[in-house]
Amino acid sequence: MRIFLNIYYFFRSVYLRGFINTLRLIKYEPKAEKFYNINTSGIKTSKSSQNFHYQGANYLILEKIINTVKEILPNAIFFDIGCGKGRACIVAAKLGFTKVIGIDLDSELIDLAKQNAKQANVEVEFILANAIEYNYQNVNTVYFLFNPFNETVLNKVLKKINKVTTKKIIVVYMNPKYSKEFYNNGFKLLNQIKTKKYIEAEIFSLNLD
């Protein structure tokens, strides 16, 4: 199953990003893993129709996005919903976010994330939690989602975040399949990050005006 997924994502990336861009992303992957001293590659498949499989965000794109949102909303919490093995959280901590939190439903992934954070020598709080049930804080926050679940769950999570917060919010939504749920919940599109035909991520805001 994983082999077929890897083949699928490779050819999908070539089609959308182009062959050279795809090779750049693939070539950078082991270098970044070594640089951050973590092991977050690979795919962990999910049997759930609501919660999608784990895959780490491309490092080159991830670093660009995190540097971008840190300029927009400095001194915010970085919060990864569906953190998997902790890649985004660890990169965020290394790039200057001082308070970093990651949540995931999968206890095995949370354990691996904690191990990776220890190896990387960064302070990250990883929590085994359901994104729908989690009590989100009313503080300036950069939320990160790498398309972790379907539109039904996403809608419920965004509703809860909108309901509990009056502070400034930015949401990085990578592989944005269900963007309409953001518009339906009062979020505004700030930016799109693209590589050729592929929209790598959309950045949304709430209470930023």
Higher-confidence position of 157 and 56: 157
Q: What percent of the chain has pLDDT over 90?
A: 74
Contact present, 89 and 124 (Cβ < 8 Å): yes
Angstrom CA distances, 44 to 5, 85, 158, 191, stand at 10, 10, 25, 29
Q: What is the CATH number of domain 54-206?
A: 3.40.50.150
Domain residue spans of the chain: 54-206
**Mean pLDDT over each residue of the chain, to the nearest integer:** 90
Whether the per-residue pLDDT at 116 is higher than 90: the answer is yes
CB 144 within 8 A of CB 81: yes
Cα(137)–Cα(166) distance, rounded to whole angstroms? 10
pTM given for the model? 0.91
What is the identity of the amino acid at 3?
Answer: I
Q: Which pLDDT tens digit goes with each residue over 141-171?
A: 999 999 988 999 999 999 999 999 999 999 9
What mean pLDDT comes out for the span 71-97? 96
Location of structure tokens 């959280």: 89
Average pLDDT over residues 178-202: 94
**Of 8 and 41, which is predicted with more confidence?**
41
pLDDT band at 46 (very low <50, low <70, confident <90, very high): low
Confidence band of 17 (pLDDT split at 50, 70, 90): confident
pLDDT at 10: 73
